[in-house]
Amino acid sequence: MFFSVTMSLDGFIAPEDPNELMGKKWVELQKWVFPQRYFRERLGLGGGGEEGPDNDLVRDTFERTGANVMGKRMFDAGEHAWPENPPFRTPVFVLTKEKRDPWERLGGTTFHFVNDGIESALDQARQAAGDRDVRISGGADTIRQYLNAGLVDEFSIALSPMLFGQGIRLFDGVDIPLEAQRVTHLNYRLPR
């Protein structure tokens, strides 16, 4: 199980207000992904787009994913924002307390609503994924639950060169050991 998210320099991955999820500030945070050729094709945003390491990362993330898990807050924000053919193209297991029948969309995306815990959602997602990986698509609370349960194998963060100021921090309340290099150096040039 893995996750990959975009995070601001000050540690935020989403605005606090659910009405602003997928809004202007979030779009600014995700600004790097929208020009990528693979992402544009996947969302039907038109031809063209950038190629290179960022595009390869986006392609690899989608292609290795056989099933997704997400929280209800993220689902609620995306339900009306995603196109008729959402980008997932896999089964998606939504953690919720709500009872709801599966919701089939175009392109192979079916949202399944799981209300008996993160382990059940992961078991169902693993079974659906076959020999591919399970990705936690978000949001932060869902990621933290899986991290704190010791169920995440790896993660990657695209660090956006912006200060979000406030919102939902990814690692609040997480206390896990990490295996990585001792330090990552980030260098930014400020515009004048």
What is the pTM assigned to this prediction? 0.92
Low-confidence ranges of the chain (pLDDT < 70): none
Which structure tokens are listed for 10? 């000050």
| Alpha-carbon gap, residue 23 to 20, rounded angstroms | 5
Architecture label for domain 2-169:
3-Layer(aba) Sandwich (3.40)
Kindly report the number of other CB atoms within 10 A of residue 52's CB atom.
Answer: 9
Cis-peptide, bond into residue 71, ω within 30° of zero: no
Helix (H/G/I), strand (E/B), else coil: 57: helix
CA-to-CA separations, 29 to 12, 67, 165, in angstroms, rounded: 9, 25, 12
